[in-house]
Amino acid sequence: MSEKDRKNVVELKMVKEGLVLVVKEYEDFEDVETEISRLISSMSGFFSEGDRVMLSIPEGEKYSNDLPGIVSLLQRFGIRVDEVSLSKSKKGTGVATGKKFTGVIPRQQEGTKVLKRNLRSGQLLVHNGSVMVFGNVHPGAEVMAGGSVVIFGSLKGSVKAGLREGETALIAALDFSPSFVQIGGYTMNEPPSSNVPSVAHVRTGRIVVEPFDNLRFENRGEE
């Protein structure tokens, strides 16, 4: 990507609802990190600790998988993401189109995050590490984690795990009925439902869902 194209991959827009950080289609996530850092640093004094923005990213698996990294980067600048929209626009400039989450719950960059409440429809939990939820993940809610996701409750929403750790991550819930699961680069669009504690993990190149008391993990030579 040329210097000019890289600078055009990120921009700030003011709309009626507030300030929107628009991320357009890109090839290399490092270009996005560089340009967000450059843009915010160039606006020294404009942002204050705890300021909130909306975030617009292109629709697609590649971009949604990078979302935890974008949210974490903004947090390092003291900026909180209040809303995420997945733009259907080819160039990623359609701020208000596509799928939208209005209750974004960003967390610190590393380690395991524990959330002690339910996630309701339209809420998105984003974390670069692993996530434990003591509550239910309702239909229409989504969890995106760099590591594993464990739900001490009912899972009926969407979960993307292993966005950093890859296929070694897992997804577990006491009541397992998600609408969609992803572990690393593997996806399952119609996961099976189970009303007993169950775990989704990758074995022999695909996601399998097994009862907790009958798990068979793939031997990866790990201790």
Q: Which long-range contacts (CB under 8 A, 24 or more apart) does 4-10 make?
A: 6/31, 6/34, 6/35, 7/35, 7/38, 9/35, 10/35, 10/36, 10/39
Please state, in angstroms and rounded to a whole number, the distance separating the CA atoms of residues 127 and 104. Answer: 11
Q: What is the mean pLDDT of the chain?
A: 84
Q: Collect the ranges in the chain with pLDDT lower than 50.
A: 90-97, 108, 223
Instruction: List, for residues 97-149, the tens digit of each pLDDT value.
Output: 456 665 555 554 567 889 999 999 988 888 888 999 999 999 999 999 889 99
Q: Which pLDDT value is given to residue 175?
A: 97
Residue reference for tokens 């464990």:
150
